[in-house]
Amino acid sequence: MTTFQDIFKSSFLENITSVSVVDMAISLVLSFCLGLFIFLVYKKTFNGVMYSSSFGVTLIALTMITTVVILAVTSNVVLSLGMVGALSIVRFRTAIKEPLDIAFLFWSIAVGIVLAAGMIPLAVIGSVIIGVTLLLFVNRKTHVHPYIAVIRCTTQEAEQKAKALLEQKVERCVVKSKTVSADSIELDLEVRLKEDDTSFVNALTRIPGVQSAVLVSYNGDYMG
């Protein structure tokens, strides 16, 4: 016979104590601290065109959310199976513009998983090593940063003179594309500067037949 106490007995209420409050507090505080560290490293090493503060905050939130999810999964085997099924139908449509952003996303997820698994030294020491590595290599300054030179000419003779001048003034000059129309020739060339000097762009515009010369920085990934 069902008693009054049996009515209030449920697996849902029993799961309240499956994860202790102390474990939750320690995991969430550590995930916030490490997520904040990841955010600061991201902010320090960002070299893209437009900085997104919302992405940095997302790294902190993602670390904490992953910690909460893994804590729940490790405390209940049945819940882990349901979680796998639920996450399998989720689709993310946000495009990742910078390749390095993928590393930060995986870093945040990995830290959340490791913390929830109780491997605190691995999460802390690993994050410090990864952060130092990124700070050393991403912020390394070099004078061979790639540029794209866009030159518009009216004659083939002006094109040859412009290319000859570039080959003298820069360390590397490679034609990426060439567009020819009835009254103009447009060249897109990848150049690597010998020094941090862009005065050759002014010299290009003084060549007879050169209509314009533009020098733009790019990340080395040429699409075309």
- How far, CA to CA in Å, does 110 sit from each of 19, 38, 190, 224? 21, 12, 37, 35
133-184 residue pLDDT tens: 998 888 665 556 788 888 999 888 888 888 888 888 888 888 888 888 888 8
Has residue 11 got a pLDDT over 60? no
Find the helix or strand (DSSP H, E) in which 19 lies. Answer: none
Q: What is the pLDDT of residues 22-64, one digit of tens each?
A: 878 888 999 999 999 999 999 888 876 677 778 888 899 999 9
Q: Is the pLDDT of residue 217 over 80?
A: no
User: Which residue type sits at 84?
Assistant: V
The structural domains of the chain, ordered by start, are: 4-138 (no CATH), 146-217 (3.30.70.260)
Residue with tokens 């796998």: 84
